[in-house]
Amino acid sequence: MMNIENIKVGDKFSTLTKLLTTVGFDKYSGGKQKKYQLRELNRYLTYEKTGKISRGKPTNEIVITEIYDTPKKAVDNRSNNGGNSTKSKSINDKRHKNKGIPIKSIDNKKIEFLNKHTQFQFTKETMCCGGVYKIQYSNNIYIGSTKNFYNRFKQHISGNMKNTKKLLDMGATMTALVICDKTQTKEDLKRIEFRYIRQYNKNNNFILYNHVI
């Protein structure tokens, strides 16, 4: 049984493991136990990475962003559809997608992309992460969220979103405001994004390129 009485919104933890033990879980000893604990944790609260940098690299520090009044309903993740679990399917899809492509080759392509697109201010380790980002030129700013920074930047520079393409053509840079854990959903990211949009919209020093929410 989780104990969330001794935590509150805004509390920070150096790692996700520290948060899990604080709310009453034993330190997990394997992947299945970790997934179970995360599923339970996400029923009670939301959290996000703070984006804290240490020695030039992003840390795993997280902050609690919301604690639900009523826990979400537990989800049954047992195998279905003739015994084929979602986990097995995702693993097979990943292997198929990268079949025949050496990992080193993928890394080289990322490095080439980063060298070419200096406006995309991410590292090889964070470029395919998800979270909330900003595209900013001077006091002109756009706030967005995505499950993959790299893919979203390619959408912006392709002109699919005219307002951000204009900013990038002016010399804007895209940087992370928050790097989130993979367990967080698109809805979680949108909630964090909206919070930043409201924050920047209240600041008269910025011209917000988002629709006002």
User: How confident is the model at residue 136, as a pLDDT?
Assistant: 94
- Angstrom CA distances, 15 to 7, 47, 48, 135, 179, stand at 15, 11, 11, 28, 14
CATH H-level, domain 102-208: superfamily:
GIY-YIG endonuclease (3.40.1440.10)
Asked whether the beta carbons of 110 and 153 are under 8 A apart, the reply is no
Residue type, 163: N
Torsion on CA atoms 213, 44, 40, 180, rounded to nearest 10: 40
Contacts of 136 (CB under 8 A, 6+ apart): 142, 167, 172, 173, 175
Asked whether the beta carbons of 171 and 118 are under 8 A apart, the reply is no
What is the radius of gyration, based on Cα positions, of the chain?
19
- pLDDT mean for each 10 residues of the chain (213 residues): 82 91 86 86 86 79 84 64 42 41 60 87 88 93 93 87 86 92 86 91 89 53
User: How confident is the model at residue 177, as a pLDDT?
Assistant: 92
Query: What six digits make up the tokens of 162?
Result: 């005219």
Q: Coil, helix or strand for 62? A: strand
Q: Sketch the domain layout of the chain as residue ranges.
A: 12-67, 102-208
User: How confident is the model at residue 193, as a pLDDT?
Assistant: 92
What is the residue whose two structure tokens read 């509150």? 8
User: How confident is the model at residue 75, as a pLDDT?
Assistant: 66
